Structure 1
Amino acid sequence: MKNFSCLILICSILISCKRDKYTTWDTNMTAPLVNSELTVEELLQSENVIANEDSSLKIVYSSELFSITTDSFAQLPDTTFELSASLENLELPNDTIEVRITMGEIMRNSDNFIIQALYNLHGSPSPFSASTSIEVSGESFDFSMVELFDELTLDTGVAEVVLSNEMQYDLTNIQFQLGNAPQPGGDLLISDTYSSLAKGSTISETYSLDSGTVILSDLVGQIINLNVSVNLIAGVTIIDTSEYISAKIIVKEIKPSEAIAVWPDQNIIEVTDEVPFASNVTIDFKEATIRGGELYFEIESTINDSIFLTYTIPNLVKDDVDTFSVDVVVPPSTDSSEGNRTTLIKSYPMTGYHFTFNGLGYSTPTLDDDEINKYVTKLTAKIKYTGEKKRISLSDRLYVKAQVRDLLPTHASGFLNNKIVSSGPSVVSFEAFNQIKSGQFDIEDVNFEIEVDNGIGGSAEAEFLEVKGTNFKGEEVLLDFMGNETMEINSAKYQGDIENYRTEHITTTKSLDPNNSNIDDFIENLPKEISYNVNVELNANVPNPGERAIVENDTPPNFIHYLDEVKARLNMEIPLSIVTDSLVLVDTLDFNLNTNNDNEVESGKFKLLVNNGFPFDANTSLYFMDETGLIIDSLWIDQTITRGTVNNSGVVSSPVQSVIEFEISKEQMENIQLASKLYIEAGFHTFDITNPEKEYYKIYSHYSFGVKLVGDFKYQFSN
C-alpha cells in the first residue's frame, strides 16, 4: 500500500525551511543564502502528525464529507384557508310601534247623532238606554322607523300585530292593513280581518314577510272597517271618551338582503374549519415548535362598512396559554359595485408558537379525538354599531385568504415516513496532500472510515452512489465499495423537554480496508479533492406505526431539532511506514540576493548542502520567481541527495550530507538578483516500489532534514 505519511512529512520539512540572515562578503568569499534545519519540534507543528509511543509517527486526518439539515427531512407544508362568500345574514333590531284610537275620536267622526250627543257627556252617566252598532272606517295612523333605516329589502322577517280592546264595548269585523307610505299607493305589507274583539281582551297575529319585500322607513296603518257594539243603560253606563283601541306593530327577526340602515353590532360571517395538510404531504406531523414563518392575510371586501375580523388557530399556542389570534380591521368599501372593493394585505409572525396538529382534538383533554396533519381555524367577521346609516347587502362579498407559510420548526415530532434526501453531486477539499506535487508511493497500512453523526430521531440508510478522488494532476480514482455501497445509520435518542428537545447524537462508522474496497489505490492517488454523491434514506424498511401510535406514544417514532443534523466525515490514520518512487514535494521560500550597489556580480556558484536524516534518496530543482510568481530562472540537476544511514532495524542512525553545485553565469546572476521567491521541488524515492520484497520505512520523531544554500561569487569592482 502506498504511503502518504512520508510525503506529508517531507512536504512539511520543505515548508519549514528558513533563510539565514543576509550578510555582506568580499571577492572569493562564500555567502549563505538559505539555511534551515528541520527538527522534530518543527515537524510536530502539523496538527495531523502524531507521535506514537515508540516515537514513530502517523498521520491522523479528518475531513467533513457531507451534512444534511433537518429541514431536508422535515419540511412543514404551507397551508391555506380560503373563503370567498357573501354575507351569511344581516340583522336589524326589533322595533315596536303603538298607536291608539280613543272612543272620543270615534264619537267625533261618527254619523250617528246618538253617539255624537254622548261626546260631551264624558264622565257622566248615559241619560238614556240604547243598543246600537257604530261602524267606524277610514282611521289611519303613521309609523316612522327613519332612525333605524331608510329602506330595506327583506330576506326574511316577521311582523306581529297586537290589537287590544280597552273599551267597555265589544268590537266586530275589524279590518286592518299596514303598508309603505303613502297610502293608497304604497305596497301593502299586511292586510287582515279579525271577526271580533271582546271588551278588555287582546288578539295577536304573526305574519311572515315575503323575501324580496321592500320596506320603507315610513309606514301607514289603517282601520278599514270597525264595528263597535254600544249598549247603554240610563243612569248606569258612564260615558268615557278616553277609552281606546290599541294597535301595536312589532317588527322583529328582520334579516334584510339589502338595507340602508344603522346596523347594530353583529357577526356577519362565522366559520370554523378543519384545515388538513395537502394529500401530497408525505410526513405525519404530531407537533412542532416554530422558529420562523408567518400567517399571511389577503382580504378583499365590497362591504360599505368597517369589518372587524378575528382569525384564530386554537391548535397554535405560545407558552401553553397564549392562543394564536389576530384581529384585523378592514376599511369600508366606497360602494358595492364591481371593481370597488377594499384590499388589505398583512402578515403576522408565528415564531415561538407551538403547533399541535391534532385537528379538533385540541378541544378535548384526552388523546382520543386527536388526529395528525390537521389544525382548526376560526374566522369571525363582524360589523359594529356606529350610529351612521350604511348600505350593506347579502350580495356583498368578503374574500379571505389566510395562508400559514414558510414554517421552520425548532423541533418537531411525528413519523417522517420513508424519505430519500440526496447530498451531492458535490466536492469537498482534502488537504492531507496539499504539499505533494506528484510521484508514487506505497502505504504499508491505512485505517480509513466513514463516520456518520446522526442527530435526527430516525434510523437511515446511506447509499454511496459515487465517491471519487482527484489529485493535483487531474487524475481520478473512483472509490470501489465492492458491492457494499450502503451504510446503516442508527437513530438519535429522544431527550424531550429535559434538554429543550435537543437529541442525543449517535455515531455510526463504516470501515474501509483493502478487503472491502480499493482504499489503498484511492489514497495513493494523493487526492486534493473528493467528489461525492450520496442518498440518505430515512426510515428505510421501517413501517408506518399508524396514527394512534404517533399520537399516543410518549416517545415519538421520529423527532428532529433544527440544530441536530446528519453529518458525515472521512477519518484517516496512516502510520508513517512507506516506500516511495519519485515522490515530488514542493515548497516556496522568500529569497533576496543582497549585493553591494557599488559592485557587480560577474558570475559564481550556488551550493546546495543537504543533510538528509530520512531513509529516502532525493533529487531537487530550484526555481527563482519574481514578486508576481513568474519563474525567471531555474537550476536543476539529476544528482542524488543520498538518504541517511539506515541500521539493521530500519532506523536512520546518522544523516548523510549531499553537496550539489550549480554554475551561475553572469546572465543568470542578473536574473537571480531580480528574484524574491525560491521555489524548491524535491523528488524522494527508494527505487524499489515495484519490488515485491520492498522494505517499508517508519518515520521517527528524531529524524531531521537540513538544507543550506550558499553562494560563491566573483565580483567586478567599480571605479
Structure 2
Amino acid sequence: MATHVTLQTMMNKKILYLLSFVFFLLACKKEKTTWDTNWRAPLFRDTLSFQRMIDSNQIGVENDHSLQLVLNQRVLDADLFEYLNIPDTSVVQEFSLNFLNFFVGPGGNIPTDVTEFEFVLDDVELNTVIIKEGVASVQIENPLVEPAIFTITFPGVSKNGVVFSQSKEIPAAVNGVAGKDVLSFDFSDYQLDLTGEDGTAFNKLESQLVVSLSPDGNGVNVTNNDVFRFTLNMTELKLKYARGYFGNIHIADTETFTLDEMNNIVSGAIDVANVNLGMYVENGVNVNGELTLELLQSTNKDGVVVNIQSPQLNVPQSLDAAQNSNGTSVPGDAFFNFTSTNSNVEDFIENLGSSYKVAYDLEINPWGNTSGGYDEIYENSRFSLDLRSNMPLALGVQDLLYRDTFDFELTQDLKGNHINAGSLILKAKNSFPFSGSVELKLLNDSKQVLTTLSSANMVTAAYGAQVTNLADFPSTENELIYTLSEEQVALINQAKYVGVEFKVDANNANVQQIYLESKLVLELFTDFELSHAL
C-alpha cells in the first residue's frame, strides 16, 4: 500500500527536528555560543569648502568662478560727538534789586537783566549746537509773600524759529522760607546759540528770568533783601550738530580682531601672489586731522608674530576736512597701500594669523584753530579706519596641516557583543588642486590622543594650476583604509572624538587658483567584524 505524505506533514516534521536540535544544544552546551558578523555603518560626513566665507562676504566670486579673498574689517569707528557733548551742568543764578525797595502792584513785573553762564569744555569752543536729546530742569525760589509767575527765557535757544520760553506760578514764601517749585522741559531738537550776549563769545548761553505778580492777587513791597534764585540742571545732552573749534583731540588705541578659522591650520606654509593690503581712512567731519598707523601685526596659533614693515608706518597721514553742503557731507579720505614692493605683506599673509592687531593715533586739529572757529559736524558723521584686501585666492601650499574634530562614540561589551577586528574607511571626493595624506586620531573625552591611524592611500589632486571647463569640474575620488590593530580595537570604548588631520601638498610648485566649485567631501565608515555571544 502506497504511503502519501502531505506538504504540511513534512513541514511539521522539519519544525520538530529543529526544535529537538535546539533543545539538544541548550542541554549540552558548556560555553557561550559565539558567532561573527561584518558591520559597516557611516560615522560622519563633512564638507570642507569656502562656502561659509562666501556667504559672509569674506570671499568673493569672479565671473570665471575663481575666488577672491575679500577683507573689509572695521578697525575704527569714531563718533566725535563723544568728545564734544555738553557735560551735565548745574548753574545757580541769583538776582535782587539794586535799590532799597520797590512796590509792585497786581499784574506788575519786577525788573531783571539778561545773564549768561559758560559751559566748561576745556579747549573746545562751540558757537552753535543742535540738541539730539536731553532734558533740563529749573528749580525756582520765590522770596515774596505773594505767589508769583516766573517766566524763564533762553534768548539763544530756539526750535523752528521760536525762542524757548516757559512760565510757572511759584507759591509764596511762608515764615521767611521761600516758596519753591520745579520747571522741567525737553531740549530735543533745540538749537543753542552759544555766542553769548555780544555774539562773539563761545560756550556761553544767555538766560533771563522775568517775575510778575498775578493780576488777581495783591501787590507786594519788594526790597533789596529779597533774593530771587533759580538752579538750572542740564543732563545727558547729546548733540546732532555742532560748529566751532573742536580743540586738539587724540584718539589712540590698539584694536584686536580674530579669524578663528585659522586655528584649524596646525602647521605648514602657503605661498600667495598679487597681495594688496590696504588701510582706508575716511573723515566725515569738517575738521582737519592726521592719522598715524603705528602697528599692523599678525599672530598665528603657534604664537609666531609678523609685523608689517613699511615706510608708511609711524608717519602721519594728512586727512582733509569733509565738505558739507546743505547737510550733505562728502568725506575726506586717505589710503595706506601695502604691496609686495613696498612692504613684507606676503610674509604677513603667509603667517596664517588667527589674531591681528592694528594700532593707530588719530589727531584732530593738529595745527590748531585753522578753520577760524568753523569746524563742523553733522549727525552720523564719523572717522573710520578699515583694513581692506581684495586678492586672488590663489595658493601654493607646502605640508599644510589642517585639523578638525568630530564626535565619536561606540560602546562595546567585551564579554558580549564586541569588535573583533576591522577598519575605518574614509571616502574622499576632492575638487581642490591639492593632494595630501589623512591621519585619524581617536581622542578621549579630554581630547587627548589615544591612538593614531594611518593609511597607505592618499587624497589625490583634482587639477593643476587652473580649470578651463567649469561645466565638467574635475574631482578625484579616493578610499583610504585604516586597519585597526587588536590594541587599537580595545581603545574604542574610551574614544569620544575622532580627529581628522589633512596634510596638504600642492600638485606642483606653482600658485594655484581656487574656485567656487572647489571642495573636499569626507565620509567616514566603519568596517568591523563583530563577535556575538549568548
**What interval of TM-score do these two structures reach, taking the shorter chain for normalisation?**
0.7 to 0.9
Count of residues in correspondence between the two structures:
491
Superposition deviation, residue 568 in structure 1: 1.7
Cα pair 2:39 2:530 within 8 Å, conserved: no
AA matched with 2:166: V
Residue 335 (structure 2) pairs with residue 513 (structure 1): no
1:661 maps to 482
2:196 maps to 359
1:72 maps to 82
Superposition deviation, residue 432 in structure 1: 6.4
1:544 to 370, 386, 392: 370
Superposition deviation, residue 624 in structure 1: 5.0
Paired residue secondary structure (2:317)? strand
Kindly name which structure, 1 or 2, has the bigger radius of gyration based on alpha carbons. 1
2:512 to 697, 709, 715: 697
Distance change >3 Å, CA 384–CA 394, structure 1 → 2: farther
Q: Deviations over 1:548-591 (max 9, x none)?
A: xx5xxxxxx43222222222211122322323333232334455
Residue 205 (structure 2) pairs with residue 326 (structure 1): no
C-alpha distance in 1 between matches for 2:442 and 2:325 = 62
1:148 maps to none
**1:499-578 superposed matches below 5 A:** 501-541=327-367, 543-546=369-372, 557-578=374-395
Superposition deviation, residue 281 in structure 1: 4.0
Distance change >3 Å, CA 495–CA 79, structure 1 → 2: same
Superposition deviation, residue 50 in structure 1: 3.2
Q: Deviations over 1:399-458 (max 9, x none)?
A: 3222445332222233434x3231423433345635434443232231111122332223
Residue 527 (structure 2) pairs with residue 708 (structure 1): no
1:683 maps to 503
AA matched with 2:476: P
Residue 274 (structure 2) pairs with residue 464 (structure 1): no
1:447 maps to 276
> Between the two proteins, what is the percent identity of the paired residues?
20
1:288 maps to 129
User: CA RMSD of the aligned region, Å?
Assistant: 3.9
Cα pair 1:263 1:384 within 8 Å, conserved: no
Paired residue secondary structure (1:456)? coil
Paired residue secondary structure (1:333)? coil
Distance change >3 Å, CA 304–CA 470, structure 1 → 2: farther
Residue 138 (structure 2) pairs with residue 315 (structure 1): no
Q: Which runs of 5+ in 2 are unaligned?
A: 1-35
Paired residue secondary structure (1:503)? strand
Paired residue secondary structure (1:270)? coil
Q: Deviations over 1:689-709 (max 9, x none)?
A: xxxxx5323334454434232
AA matched with 1:606: L
AA matched with 2:196: G
C-alpha distance in 1 between matches for 2:483 and 2:145 = 99
Distance change >3 Å, CA 370–CA 584, structure 1 → 2: same
AA matched with 1:328: K
Cα pair 1:602 1:669 within 8 Å, conserved: no
Cα pair 2:54 2:60 within 8 Å, conserved: yes
Cα pair 1:304 1:392 within 8 Å, conserved: no
Cα pair 2:457 2:480 within 8 Å, conserved: no
2:236 maps to 406
2:436 maps to 618
Distance change >3 Å, CA 437–CA 28, structure 1 → 2: same
Superposition deviation, residue 495 in structure 1: 2.8
AA matched with 1:539: N
Distance change >3 Å, CA 330–CA 478, structure 1 → 2: farther
Cα pair 1:424 1:533 within 8 Å, conserved: yes
2:251 maps to 422
Superposition deviation, residue 687 in structure 1: 11
AA matched with 1:575: P
C-alpha distance in 2 between matches for 1:382 and 1:41 = 75
Distance change >3 Å, CA 596–CA 706, structure 1 → 2: farther
C-alpha distance in 2 between matches for 1:605 and 1:638 = 10
C-alpha distance in 1 between matches for 2:38 and 2:305 = 52
Superposition deviation, residue 526 in structure 1: 2.5
2:400 maps to 583
Cα pair 1:603 1:669 within 8 Å, conserved: no
Residue 421 (structure 2) pairs with residue 600 (structure 1): no
Name the TM-score, length of structure 1 as normaliser.
Answer: 0.59
C-alpha distance in 2 between matches for 1:527 and 1:41 = 20
Cα pair 1:303 1:397 within 8 Å, conserved: no
2:321 maps to 491
